[in-house]
Structure 1
Amino acid sequence: MRACLGTCLSAVLLGVAGASLAAPLCQTQTQGSHTSKLCIEQTPFKHDYYTLWVDDAPVFMLPDDYVENVSLTHTVPEDDSNEFPLSKQGMHSVAITGGCRPLVELQGAGSAAVSVETGRVCSFVWGQQALVKDMRFRFE
């Protein structure tokens, strides 16, 4: 019994911790010849994290507070450096812009009504190339 106590307690705690972590919400979208995947990792009572992949390469991971209005700028070197293909659009600098704006619904009635975030709509552009357009996530 005593030998099981530590092992059994650890198993229970790991099971509870694992149960609170939901699988990431992921969607894929193809724009032109590029495929993007956007995933949202949600943990109760913590920040959600948004990860964007383009053509199977991770580009960024941002918390929910900073994904609403994104502008990431890169100065493209003149030499033949290791660049993402989408950074080579003939410009001296290229930016990834866009964001995931909250979808909010009013729940309840009268003075008890509260605004609740029920999802996000995401759009991102890399230079002149759309990556994700009006991708909708619905939260439960």
Structure 2
Amino acid sequence: MYKHILVPVAFDDDHDPAAALEATRKLAAPDAQVTLVHVMADVPGYAISYMPPGYSDELKRTLQASLDKLAEGFDNARGVLREGSPANEILALAEESGADCIVIASHRPGFGDYLIGSTAARVVRHAHCSVLVLR
């Protein structure tokens, strides 16, 4: 059983965090810390000018509220919102927080994933802890 599990969560139509959250419940020690993380990809500079004022702040508040709501399903959990490259931020947070397991969902790879690698694949290759990949 793991004492600190990191669970990356994507908020889009293609990802449902239910399976990852259920796996986390099964893998967690009774007093385990669970960290739910969402990584916001950097918005390209040319796109910023098309965003309404306050868009980024409102998006961050909404995403954090969604993470906090998911965290309520665990006794000892927190939601963390990061910005940057998803794989890099997940790996950095795992190191910073001392996570001993990462539970991450994967999707069927597309052509682009074969060239640059999916987030889950990069996490598996570079993590310094156990990684459970869900399909």
Q: TM-score range by the shorter chain?
A: under 0.3
**Could you say which structure has the greater relative contact order, defined with CA pairs below 8 angstroms and 6 or more residues apart?**
2
Q: Which has the larger radius of gyration?
A: 1
What's the TM-score once normalised by structure 1's chain length?
0.25
What's the TM-score once normalised by structure 2's chain length?
0.26
**1 or 2, which has the higher helix percentage?**
2
